[in-house]
A and B are shown apart, each in its own frame.
Chain A
Amino acid sequence: MTAVVNVFLKDGVLDPQGKAAHHALDSLGFSNINDVRIGKQIIIKLETTNRTQAQNEVEEMCETLLANTVIEDYNIEIQ
């Protein structure tokens, strides 16, 4: 199985990279943008075929290492 983890700065925590990209897009003429957030995508190949087990394991990985929950949120998609 494959787990796709997306990690983003929490809402309300300023994302300076997103802001810079937003400005750049603005100056290129893309004027319909409300907000840009930049995050990380982490793709993990797992040995298990058990979806629940995969979800639980990856959740633990996120809480321990992949995300810093003081400033970041994450979501997990198991494929």
Chain B
Amino acid sequence: MQKESIDKISLEVAILRFPGTNCEFDTQYAFEKLGHKTTLVWHENKKLPENINLLVIPGGFSYGDYLRSGSIARFSPIMKAVLEYAKNNGKILGICNGFQILTEAGLLPGALKRNNNLHFISKHQNLVVINNNNSFLNLCQKNEVLDIPIAHADGNYYIDDAGLDDLEKNGQILLRYSDASGKPVVVNGSVTSIAGVCNKERNIFGLMPHPERALEAILGSQDGIRMLQGFESL
């Protein structure tokens, strides 16, 4: 059905909160600024709100990141509902700690380990769009360079060679860290500078950079808007 162009699509977005999550209000602000409805969901809940269009696992430090980032959070009561939602083709976006939780839960391939230089890296970073034929980056152009803040200690994406081949073959690599011209650069040691990936079915997305922190020109970049708006074309 053709949609009237004046219509504004309003999504129902659920945002998870674990003990130590700290980007939930930025994420809520971001989606509400774009005209969507949001619900914060505490990790002890066993159910997600009904009829959501998108589930976001935001950044922070769930459970102090003890053992490994995301490893304890993945066994929270809410995660059963998350796995079920994922299986039913529900759309999930994991940002930073959310990405770590999704890899720990086995919903995304690979793992995130300590940055090669052992530093917590917090800065604006250029990213080059690798694949845009998905509901997250469809408003971005292939090879386009975006400016999005990063802030992490465990963002060093690892996957073995066979896994990397699969990602390449299936168009699952979303973003790479790059310079202003789009040439990949080493930021944290990630395999082939990967900053974000999706699953094979393209309903689960994870990235270390924070699009919700790039919505205001006065804060340095608005490139996050188009990324998050991508989900409107569900």
Contacts and interface: CB of A to CB of B under 8 A. Distances in A.
Q: Do A and B come from one complex?
A: yes
B189 A70 contact: no
B159 A65 contact: no
B121 to A, nearest CB: 13
B68 A68 contact: yes
Contact of A17 (B67, B72, B118): B118
B118 A20 contact: yes
Nearest to B112: A71
Contacts of B72: 65
Q: Is the interface of A mostly helix, strand, loop or mixed?
A: mixed
Contact of B116 (A9, A16, A40, A65): A16
A14 to B, nearest CB: 7
- Give the contact-size bracket for chain B: 20 to 34
A66 B67 contact: yes
Interface string A8-35: 0100011011001000000000000000
Q: Is the interface of B mostly helix, strand, loop or mixed?
A: loop
Contact of A70 (B111, B114, B118, B156): B111
B202 to A, nearest CB: 21
A51 to B, nearest CB: 26
Interface residues of A, number: 12
Contact of B114 (A17, A40, A66, A68): A17
A68 B71 contact: yes
B66 to A, nearest CB: 11
Given A68-B104, A70-B158, A71-B158, A13 B71 contact: no
Interface string B94-127: 0000000001100000110111111000000000
Contacts of A65: 67, 71-72, 75
Contacts of B159: 70
Nearest to B156: A16
Nearest to B160: A70
B131 to A, nearest CB: 22
B145 to A, nearest CB: 27
B110 A70 contact: yes
Interface in A45-79: 65-66, 68, 70-71
Given A65-B75, A68-B104, 18 more contacts: A13-B113, A14-B116, A14-B189, A16-B115, A16-B116, A16-B118, A16-B156, A16-B189, A17-B118, A40-B67, A66-B67, A68-B71, A70-B103, A70-B110, A70-B111, A70-B158, A70-B160, A71-B158
8 contacts: A13-B113, A13-B158, A16-B118, A17-B118, A20-B118, A40-B67, A65-B72, A70-B159
Interface of A: 9, 13-14, 16-17, 20, 40, 65-66, 68, 70-71
